[in-house]
Structure 1
């Protein structure tokens, strides 16, 4: 009987498309201490690795700070990460995070 109830409750959930990577506006860069590929994110845990994609380029950076605190921006990249991603001319770009 328990299995039937569990099955019914799972079956009643709506089916939504799930994507691990989603486009989010507002990646910018800042001058961070150190020379690593680091970034600031408001909610991701410190030390976690984030894959940031822009066009045909993709980089991995480690979350070591909180931010950005400007509306419309979801991640701040260190200068090294911004250079590797090819966004130095743009300033603020639309990226997908994974």
Structure 2
């Protein structure tokens, strides 16, 4: 899945925010409640898939996190996806929303 020129972490965060109701500023905050952390992790996971050519450092900077934190969140999300239908559905809805925005559907 290649990233179109107009794909940004900000667009991914907005898509996850609209789906989950988690406010956009919460994605870069230090708050770690379950709902916010799950939304943030989903955004990181989708961002890594959509922006695969980005360095870990660049991706981490977009979330105001360090590289290891982002990598851990993405790995945790990848491990949970096969066993968590709610998370899997969230990622699918966000990716579908981004596809619609790009005009691919």
TM interval, shorter chain, is under 0.3
Report the TM-score when normalising by structure 1. Answer: 0.27
More strand by share: 1
Report the TM-score when normalising by structure 2. Answer: 0.26
More helix by share: 2
Q: Which has the higher contact order (CA 8 A, sep 6+)?
A: 1
